[in-house]
Structure 1
């Protein structure tokens, strides 16, 4: 029998679900991802205020992703003796400190240090999240709990881009980061009152990462995930400059388009389970393929504003299902080493974000957003081909 999210080992979950704890984690995700996405919606004012290029300001995304990648790989071994409840609260505390540093940053250096701390929180949180959820609810409720966690991501996508750009225009970009720090405070209190004690589980060592990576199909799956997320974040990080410079949208229209992106992303998250239940592998491949087609249309047709709005929203819808699909892939293929496997997947995603933002920034400064989108489409097409050719969606029979 091949394990699926509904057949995870029963011993890994309690008899009664701790939904309050799951909600507190979703709140933490909401705050972390909101902070992660904010630079994309505030790139222009941040660059102007600090006296740097938009490409340089985009490296605020890069440093967060690089540190998140390292943290996700090391957290299970470095924190092998720390109660996971305490770890979640530490990550929420780092969220607060990070946003306050960014909000008061006098220049690029302090801004990047603040974003570095956010990377630690992001990488650590995501590496632990799936493993913790498995221990908070019965096995049969794991898919629902994971959907709740990812609803925090979708909520952040809705809020961070449009609200960040709009509030930033009214009260300044620094005030937006102060508000995000308050989200961290709320998450910290919610986790304090709802998360139970969670002793470390699994082997939690660097060696375990290598063992998991050697399992059939895992390395190729992680490479494919890296390409998918890298292609997306190259697109998303420089979406606002594209809307302003290439489409001619004002701040109000930019906020509306980003809101449409976020709402469509939320819907994509809601329908992801239905798509994945039909065929996980087909979902993993079809999502980046359709995103690549959107990139081609944006690059080759110079669409008018209404069509651009539809294409951007459709991209948001497609990407809403992407994290759910890859989390399901992890739960199906490596349920017995969820912490270590989660660290590897998060590291791949954070590396993708870093490369997407960094390479995208270089391309943007050289030849603009259209070239960034073209590169994004090529990466996503390669990912779709790689998934169809070699990515496994189920574990070996010996793991059943």
Structure 2
């Protein structure tokens, strides 16, 4: 059966999946794991970096803000600038940039150089996400829907929160934050080798032009979804960036318990990713609204219940469950709103996501420095309410599912 690719050219899907096709998809998922681990490592290292490089905790939060700002611009610009470059080569180059960025951070003599390393990472983040998600249909084995393929890639994201960030926090507590960045760079190098051997050639079916990017905004539901995404991502990263300092300063938890709580968050995120993938295949809008509702509730009750061990376990698990479904819902919403613009739509979603990360962590740092840590949780809850109102009020009429089918080319 002839099926359209992300560039609009129809090709025939193979009759059955191959082992090679699964390895190719998994190599991208593992790359997502390494990338997200790199991006969010500072969440568990803020206090150590702040103390070692003599900056405030709020200023140290720039390690999250800086790559977010760059990634917001990199997603569309990389997509446009690479033209018809083979996407396999592009993914490998972006993974290499991640390795370099982590090594720069590991050996940074001061906070300025550390931020430069994080800026380099931002280029890799934006370019990788825009490319990988748009290619999910072409990488999907035969018989696997694009939604499921995207969910598999996003499993790398949730697994990063399960093992990457908590493990990075543990390594940082024992060997120091520099060792955490160094080991993550080594992981990236291993991922790069895997991609070189596992990814098939992925020639571009068309080049995305700069003039194509605004096309996405012509769709009402795309605009609504992007606004909801930026509100919710801002909410999350305004608050979650300072979860570790909250546990240390407000709750008085020891390092081992904090690592365990971050693990609980990640495990709940895996469950949330799976459940959201199933639910979104039936009704994207209702699933996204439920994700927003649960995440907002977790933030609002966190300052009240996060001060006790049991309360912290329950609230961080609820938070992780909701956040695990966010990436799937955000991208599936955009694919449903603008199915003819997969690659440019994916780039815009990445940019919007990164804008939310940058704005959220920046606002969070200001609130922490000028007020207190619990206040940033309440602010996050307020932004989540804005996201829920946006999707509920203006998202009616969005197609329930994504009609486009995947393409496997292996």
TM-score range normalised by the length of the shorter chain: over 0.9
Structure 1 segments of 4+ aligned residues over 4 angstroms from their partners: 300-303, 395-400
In structure 1, distance between residues paired with 2:105 and 2:71: 17
Corresponding residue number in structure 2 for 1:352: 356
Does 1:321 pair with 2:320?
no
Does 1:286 pair with 2:290?
yes
In structure 2, distance between residues paired with 1:369 and 1:379: 16
Q: Deviations over 1:160-214 (max 9, x none)?
A: 3321111111111111111111121111111111212222234501111111211
Corresponding residue number in structure 2 for 1:11: 10
- Of 87, 92, 106, the match for 2:109: 106
Corresponding residue number in structure 2 for 1:394: 399
Corresponding residue number in structure 1 for 2:125: 122
In structure 2, distance between residues paired with 1:333 and 1:42: 38
Pairwise CA RMSD: 2.4
In structure 2, distance between residues paired with 1:162 and 1:381: 29
- With over 3 angstroms needed to count, the CA separation of the structure-2 counterparts of 1:302 and 1:79, relative to structure 1, is closer
Corresponding residue number in structure 2 for 1:134: 137
Q: Give the stretch that moved more between structures: 195-204 or 99-108.
A: 195-204
Corresponding residue number in structure 1 for 2:408: none
TM-score by length of 1: 0.93
In structure 1, distance between residues paired with 2:266 and 2:35: 16
Q: Give the stretch that moved more between structures: 156-165 or 370-379.
A: 156-165
Deviation at 1:12, TM superposition (A): 6.2
Contact 1:268 1:319 in 2 (8 A): yes
In structure 1, distance between residues paired with 2:9 and 2:290: 32
Structure 2 counterparts to residues 327-346 of structure 1, below 5 A: 327-346=331-350
Structure 2 counterparts to residues 1-400 of structure 1, below 5 A: 11=10, 14-15=13-14, 16-17=16-17, 18-137=21-140, 138=142, 140-300=144-304, 303-391=307-395, 393-394=398-399
Gaps of 5+ in 2: 406-410
Q: Give the stretch that moved more between structures: 349-358 or 305-314.
A: 305-314
Deviation at 1:393, TM superposition (A): 3.0
In structure 1, distance between residues paired with 2:175 and 2:306: 33
- With over 3 angstroms needed to count, the CA separation of the structure-2 counterparts of 1:397 and 1:53, relative to structure 1, is closer
Q: Give the stretch that moved more between structures: 305-314 or 50-59.
A: 305-314
TM-score by length of 2: 0.91
Count of residue pairs brought into register by the alignment = 395
Q: Give the stretch that moved more between structures: 303-312 or 51-60.
A: 303-312
In structure 2, distance between residues paired with 1:399 and 1:276: 14
Contact 2:305 2:315 in 1 (8 A): no
Q: Deviations over 1:284-311 (max 9, x none)?
A: 1121122212222224567522112210
Contact 1:332 1:393 in 2 (8 A): yes
